[in-house]
Structure 1
Amino acid sequence: MSVEEQIREQLTAGLVPVHLEVANESHMHSVPPNSETHFRVVVVSDAFAGKRQVARHQQVYGLLAAQLEGPVHALALHTYSPGEWQERENSAPTSPDCLGGSKATSPEAQA
């Protein structure tokens, strides 16, 4: 099972989301081809109602502890209650372009 599938399975079981997006964004970063290290997650769940962002993120981190200890290097989280999701017109921010990490742009490579 891929890391993306593991993330999807854990969040579905733990949060019973009304909307879930899991995107492997590793290709946008300086990592080997076919990596599963950078993910963007949009999750809408009743479990987030009345909770602050920090508590929501902690809840997600708890569900994904095994993945975060292993292959996942970065996790962009967008967590909403159903009402917040509706107010946002069912959209979440996109991830910015990667600003670094390339060996070709490191000071050592330019010397």
Structure 2
Amino acid sequence: MTGPLLFGSHIVCLYIWLFLRVLETIEGHSGYEFPLGFSTFLPIMSGPVRHDYHHEKFDCNYGSTMAFWDWLCGTDAQFRALQHEKAARGEHGWFDLFDYLSSPAKTIKVKTT
């Protein structure tokens, strides 16, 4: 809240931002990929699948909102490898814009324990 106060944002702009942020938080923690969710329209958003993996492993997928940071820092390699393995088994794998920008994650070993 100090950012909008320091930079003099209009109160309506602040409330719109808070409303959208709360919706994004609800989607991220729901564990369900909504058809009309933020990550559907904005491929750089993390989404609930990435966020659930972060809570499961604790050592990856740190970007709470933007998947860009995990892709840039390489902290999503395990997640990407797992999604590629799921797709190879015929299950639904979750892919995003950065899968097209990255090298194939099939060479990365995933710890299952």
- TM value normalised by structure 1: 0.28
Structure number with the higher strand fraction is 1
Higher relative contact order (CA 8 A, sep 6+): 1
- TM value normalised by structure 2: 0.28
Structure number with the higher helix fraction is 2
